[in-house]
Amino acid sequence: MEHNMDFSKLKLTDVIDVEVLQRFQDDFALGMGLASVTVDEKGDPVTNPSYYTRFCQDFTHSTECGDKRCALSHKKGGEEAARTGKPVVYECHAGLIDFAAPIMIEGHLMGTILGGQVLTEAPEEGKYRSIAKEIGVDPDGYVEAVQEIKPLARKRIEAAANVLFIVANNMSNSAYQHFKLKSVAGVLNDSLHQISATMQQMAASATTVSGNQANLNKEIKNVDDITSEINDVMDLIKEIADETRLLGLNAAIEAARAGEAGLGFGVVAQEIRKLSADSKQTVGKIKEFTHLIRTSVNTTVGMGNETLATVEQQAAAIEEVTASVEEITSLAEQLNELAKTGK
């Protein structure tokens, strides 16, 4: 199973050090004479603007109309950069040259570096007076501000955009690999904890099985003992039957005699009744032992069922361990891939 990153929940600030990016952006803008700002995938700034011109900051963005036009212009540039996956240089609505450099991670747009606010040639006064009227700013001040902007060769602008693109993407991808490694390591750690918990459950189940088996053996021994007692009772009954047969025979002999036959038979009859009472008592014991046997057997069956349930739980636990091991194997392979890339 592969551990995929959910890019819908991943933000640019998760995979890049904003403070480092801000310092780089400021130094680069100052050194190249180019304005720049970094925005997330929604267009919201994640850095402060670097080296913004007075033309843009004090005039173009000063009115609602101008600010909306700038936002739309940046959006179009950013969309084109995201579509092509590389920096795009274009002319903004206010007549300046801007660029959009996408920050991509595994084909997903994480943010955009917007910059420029430069010219490639001397400005035409009439053009900027017309734009000033459209957005509602002072034409004279607008023209004065645009004339402060020094023209740069288009190749220099394109080179600057490429440098920002390369550096920012290397920063973000390097940070992303560390972020991904931490995420994978976290899942790996959770899996190991799950395995540990499952193994503890299995150990506890094994202890239960062992205890049940000992009790089962005890109950079986109890059944053997009771069976032995039943055999003893049955032997006693056999002896009583033999004695009863002999006494009956003697009673018959005594009855055949003349004279004192009645007295002899009476004694025999008394002994027979005694033996009969003993037989009833013995039968009661047999019933009692039979009941004990039945109870013991039921207990044995119950333990057998409990043991079976425990074995089934162990089987399920083993399946969980197997699944966890498979996931660990997959995660280990991904960790190896990350190590190979050196990112």
The pLDDT of residue 2: 46
CATH of domain 12-152: 3.30.450.20
Largest CA distance in the chain: 166
Mean pLDDT by 10 residues, the chain (343 residues): 65 87 90 91 91 94 94 90 93 95 89 93 94 96 94 92 89 77 70 72 70 70 67 66 62 59 56 59 64 69 69 71 70 61 51
Q: What whole-number distance in Å separates Cα of residue 270 and Cα of residue 249?
A: 14
What pLDDT was estimated at residue 122? 93
- What are φ and ψ of residue 134, in 5° steps? -65, -35
DSSP-derived secondary structure for 242-297: HHHHHHHHHHHHHHHSSSTHHHHHHHHHHHHHHHHHHHHHHHHHHHHHHHHHHHHH
> How is domain 187-341 classified at the CATH fold level?
Helix Hairpins (1.10.287)
Q: What is the rounded distance in angstroms from the CA atom of residue 216 to the CA atom of residue 301?
A: 9
Residue range(s) of every CATH 1.10.287 domain in the chain: 187-341
Compute the half-sphere exposure of residue 306: CA atoms within 13 Å on the CB side of its CA: 16
Rounded to two decimals, the pTM is 0.60
